[in-house]
Amino acid sequence: MTEFFSKALTFLMKGGVLMIFIFICSLVAIALFVERIIALHKAAKQTESLSKPLTDALNEGQYERALTLCDSHPGALAELAKCAISHKKLARESLQEAVNDEGKRQFSALNRFIPAIGTIAGIAPMLGLLGTVTGMIQVFSNLADEYAAGVHANPGMLAGGIWEALLTTAAGLCVAIPAFLMHRYLESKLDRLWLALEHHATAIVDILAPPPARSETLTPHVSAENPTPRAAQNDDRHDPKSDRDPADRKKDRKADRKKDCNRADDESDQEADRS
């Protein structure tokens, strides 16, 4: 086993000094991932075990018992519940604002170290690429010096220098890919936990400050038997002639036109007599 690690270390050191930083990044990513997995699993378990007895105690108005439960189950939900209980005399909007502020603090605590793993996933391949570039610069620099000294280039030496330079790129990718997967997994686990916390926090707020009852706006029913004042006014303006037979209405219109014509003739005759 010792010989294996010795060979592996020698192999990695061929990649240059930057291999040390890439190796450190891998150790840090693994350590942070394990720490966050344990923390998130513990927080989810505490939330599940506290939610039901806490809501039962709040529904019964036993606030001291609820605070005791929070002290015995420390975690994000316990802190949200204690914040809500301490502000239970406030209006619903103020209570929600206080719980939201506490929620931001708890989310920051749960999200701790997760962005660092994402940073490692982004920086590891760049370290690898930097190591490759510097390695290639060193290889071609040595090649130029040998050519200036009149020594013919050895293809084997050139190939050996190139593959040693490419080791850092491979190592950077080997660290970045698992770190990226670890980062995405922790983010999804945190999202599921936070959705559960938001659900329980909303339930606590609803218990301490119930939402106002919904009131339906009743629209007065307008019927033909009970018309509105405007409708009644329109009924008062109803023309009785509209109820007559269509034939009679036609005769009335003809008579009205005939009267208008006769009136116009009389006016023209009167004007002629005056002249």
Instruction: Give the pLDDT confidence of 140-185 residue by residue, as tens digits.
Output: 787 777 777 776 666 666 677 777 778 889 999 999 999 999 999 9
What residues in the chain have per-residue pLDDT under 50?
A: 216-225, 227, 229-238
Report long-range pairs for 237-240 (Cβ below 8 Å, ≥24 apart).
none
In terms of phi and psi (left: phi > 0; alpha: psi -120 to 50; beta: otherwise), the region of 171 is alpha
Q: What is the pLDDT of residue 269?
A: 60
CB atoms within 10 A of CB 208: 19
8-state DSSP, 15? T
Q: What is the pLDDT of residue 259?
A: 65
Global pTM?
Answer: 0.69
- Rounded to 5°, angle at Cα 233 from 227 and 235: 75
What is the per-residue pLDDT across 144-155, written as a single tens digit (0 to 9) for each? 777 777 766 666
* Helix (DSSP H) and strand (DSSP E) numbers for the chain: 9, 0
260-270 burial, b at 16+ Cβ within 10 Å, e below that, comes to eeeeeeeeeee
Q: What is the pLDDT of residue 25?
A: 95
Q: What is the pLDDT of residue 222?
A: 45
Q: What is the pLDDT of residue 186?
A: 96
Q: What is the pLDDT of residue 38?
A: 96
Q: Which amino acid is at 245?
A: D
Q: What is the pLDDT of residue 266?
A: 63
